[in-house]
Amino acid sequence: MKVFIEKQNKKVNLTFRGTGEELIKKLKYNSEEVLVIKNGELVALDEKLSNKDDIKIISVISGG
């Protein structure tokens, strides 16, 4: 799975199968602070993700 982490401007390749919430935990983020974009679409955290998906983790917190 290709994962782009916006806050760190970093791309990672992962072998992962599970929900958006589980991916956030694996990456050690807090679900209050990030959102999951799956193949260009915003998804709820219980959405199942597979290795074929293109994932973007975007930060909720911005500004000052």
Partner 1 sequence: MKCKLCLNNAVIDSPSYCKKHFLKYVEKTVSQTIKKYDLLKKTDKICVAVSGGKDSITLLYILKKLDYDVEALAIDEGIAGYRDKTLDFLKKFCKTYNIKLIIKSFEKEIGKRLDKIVKTGTSACTICGTFRRSLLNKYTNSYDKIATGHNLDDEAQAVLMNLLKAQKSLYARQGPKTEKRKGFTQKIKPLYFLKEKEIMIYSILMGFDVPFTECPYAKDSFRAYVRDELNLLETQKPGTKKNIILKYLENKDTGKNKLNLSFCSLCGEPCAEKICNSCRIRQTLGLIV
State the residues that interact with partner 1 by CB under 8 A: 6-7, 30-33, 35, 42-47, 58-64
Q: Which long-range contacts (CB under 8 A, 24 or more apart) does 47-54 make?
A: 47/19, 47/20, 48/17, 48/18, 48/19, 49/1, 49/16, 49/17, 49/18, 49/19, 49/20, 49/23, 50/1, 50/17, 51/1, 51/15, 51/16, 51/17, 52/1, 53/1, 54/2
Q: Which is nearer to partner 1, 14 or 19 (CB)?
A: 19
Q: How far is the CB of 18 from partner 1 (least distance, A)?
A: 15
Q: How far is the CB of 19 from partner 1 (least distance, A)?
A: 10
Q: How far is the CB of 52 from partner 1 (least distance, A)?
A: 18
